[in-house]
Amino acid sequence: MRQEEQIIRTEYAELMQKSFIDYAMSVIVARALPDVRDGLKPVQRRTLYDMHELGIRYDRPYRKSARIVGDTMGKYHPHGDSSIYGSLVVMAQDFKMGMPLVDGHGNFGSIEGDGAAAMRYTEARLQKLTQEAYLADLDKNVVDFVPNFDETEKEPEVLPVRVPNLLVNGAEGIAVGMTTNIPPHNFAEVIDGVIAYMKDPDINTEQMMKYIPGPDFPTGGIVANKDELLSIYSTGTGKIKIRGKVEVEHGKGGRERLVITEIPYTMIGANIGKFLNDVYSLVETKKTSDITDITNQSSKEGIRIVIELRRGADAENLKNLLYKKTKLEDTFGVNMLAVADKKPETMGIVPMIRHHVNFQFELATRKYRTLLAKEKDKKEIQEGLIRACDVIDLIIEILRGSANVKTAKACLTDGITDGIRFKTAQSKKDAEKLRFTERQADAILEMRLYRLIGLEIEALLRDHEKTLACIAEYEEILENRGVMARVIIRELQHFKKEYQRPRRTALENLREVVIEEKKPEEMDVVFLMDRFGYGKTIDVSTYERNKEAADAENRYVIQCKNTDRICMFTNRGQLHMLKVFDLPFGKFRDKGTPLDNLSNYNSSEESVVMLTNLAAIQDKKLLFGTKTAMLKVVDGSEFDVAKRTTAATKLSDGDELLLVSVLSGNETLVMQSQKDFFLRIEAAVIPEKKKGAVGVRGMRLGEGDLLCELHLLQENETKSAEVKGKEVALHRLHIGNRDTKGTKK
């Protein structure tokens, strides 16, 4: 009989919410964030454990990365080979990890962003540190093992890492709704910090920073805000400013060069190429003229980016320019988030070390309990063998008189003599007194005859003494937390002595860089903008020689200074400012640069109503007129603003700016509507307003009518407009009052 389907009715929103929360927690805990105990993400933990299981130790030959990836994916991590190989590659990169965990052989990528070779080409094995401090004692029941994804294998819930890996190697990860970004630290300093905490659990962040003063990035560099580290390490969040290390070298002919020998940690990869492009841009946009060449001479020996300077250049000011305008100074956003007790938690450096130390005590407790149990088992067997040696003749008699092993074992453990032939009655009485344990009886039955040699018996007694000593030692470690702490500290000191390396990142308090921008030498130029929106500047003499062609081919021709600014008023009421110095200066036939690229002006969405230089309008009055006949006069000084884009006027919905023009004092304004109404008024009657005002109504428009043209006539100027094939002489129109309907033509 077919089982009926069960349809569960539920609110869709509730189901989505629950499903999303489940997914988010899965990503947070089981994929993207490291565990505070071993400092590893699941993919890293599984990869290292698989290498351990495959026996790819530091003292054995390398194995193909594809083998490691395939085995890890098949047994423990069914999330695709790219994520596994990606984690394997990162764990082998000494420029990413404070202490690399994998020894890579082949092309594992470069600091400049080159990717690793395909996994079929590269090989890998464990580093010695990983073998000794991350994977040791897995056979001593120090961590729990859990079923893998298909319950065919067991994998460790966490690796028994003896050093604070989360601080040593840092971590980065993006989960759902949260991210982690922990900087790497110096191996020896972190161990000193752990030992300091174990000696004084009440240590505060400030005291801890005597041992761990700050991050130590593999790429070196300089931390520029040392005083802010206390707040960052207390809260677990903040921003670290990192600078690259720049040296000044003296070349031939009095020339100097800037040599970058260390880069910010955030510049690893494609950002080195971006830095080079940013330096090129500084030259192209004329931010500096001191750079003559830049070459990237980096190699396996280290970073070396050489910037050649022209003779007499200010090297210090240029160095500050690089810090200010490029990624040579960058920010590392710290967010010390990790999974603690199966939930994400942001913690400072002391709580992070506290979790690590508690984990170390847990590891040590489980390790020495396992060792103590083994030693006690060994002691039981050794005591049985020693007793057996004392009555070996009786035991041989029992074995020879027994019909089978079961009978002999029953006699050894419980003194049961039934079915055993003894030579004498005394032997039987002695046999009835035997009370060996099960394990002792098995050991006696499996004992070889050579163990009866005198020297072998002496060795057995010595082993028994060692076993008793070990039992006493392990019991003392387990019963006394102080003794256990000394054992852990001794182990940490061994790792420090074996693997410590000098600090690479300097910690300093550096001032905000100040750039002394050299003002360009002031000169007269002519700004040209063609009908396609390309702009450039040329020398005045060049313009004079090509005046006729320049005026004919260009929409705007403005004489100005190279230190001036160009004002673009658009139909949307925006004012876009453009530095003349930013425009390309060159030959008359040069194409120029689109103004869209040099300002916020967008030629596809707005059109230029008026274009002028700021110096020409600063002490003038500007007339504004819109499609809905809103008029106002604005003082030109209001447009001397620092912003690249600002609102030149306020427009109502659907309105559009038609006219911006400089007033001289005796003009008249003719408004022409789409329905052929004309109104001529004196410009003097238009009130002066602020640029943020809408203005006043200049003409009373009929329903559905809008202005199509605004004509500003100078005194005695003659001008005509065409209406339905007829010429209308604008200068002969009667001067009327503002806010009237006008005359239809």
Catalytic residues: 121
Beta strands in 90-199 (DSSP E): 102-105, 123-126, 145-147, 154-156, 171-174, 179-182
Q: What is the DSSP string of 179-191?
A: EEEE----HHHHH
CA-nearest of 47, 22, 344, 357 to 173 is 344
- Cα–Cα distance between 427 and 409 in angstroms, integer? 16
Query: CB pairs under 8 A, 24+ apart, for 720-725?
Result: 721/670, 721/672, 721/678, 723/676, 724/676
State the burial class of residue 475 (Cβ atoms within 10 Å of its Cβ: 0-12, 13-18, 19+): middle
Contact predicate 634/661, CB 8 Å: no
- Cα–Cα distance between 625 and 200 in angstroms, integer? 77
* Span between the terminal Cα atoms of the chain, in Å: 92
Residue 66: φ, ψ to 5°: -60, -35
- Cα–Cα distance between 366 and 371 in angstroms, integer? 9
- Cα–Cα distance between 601 and 443 in angstroms, integer? 93
Token readout for 5 is 């389907």
State the burial class of residue 454 (Cβ atoms within 10 Å of its Cβ: 0-12, 13-18, 19+): exposed
Residue 417: φ, ψ to 5°: -105, 0
Q: Which residue has the tokens 């000191």?
A: 493
Contact predicate 208/193, CB 8 Å: yes
Residue 642: φ, ψ to 5°: -85, -25
Residue 313: φ, ψ to 5°: -70, 150
Residue 64's alpha-carbon distances to 42, 108, 124, 125, 658, in angstroms, are: 21, 13, 6, 9, 72
- Cα–Cα distance between 661 and 507 in angstroms, integer? 58
Contact predicate 99/128, CB 8 Å: no
Residue 672: strand pairing partners: 678, 709
CA-nearest of 522, 513, 507, 506 to 318 is 513
Contact predicate 215/183, CB 8 Å: yes
- Cα–Cα distance between 69 and 120 in angstroms, integer? 10
| Helices 392-401, 405-414: crossing angle, 10 deg rounding | 140
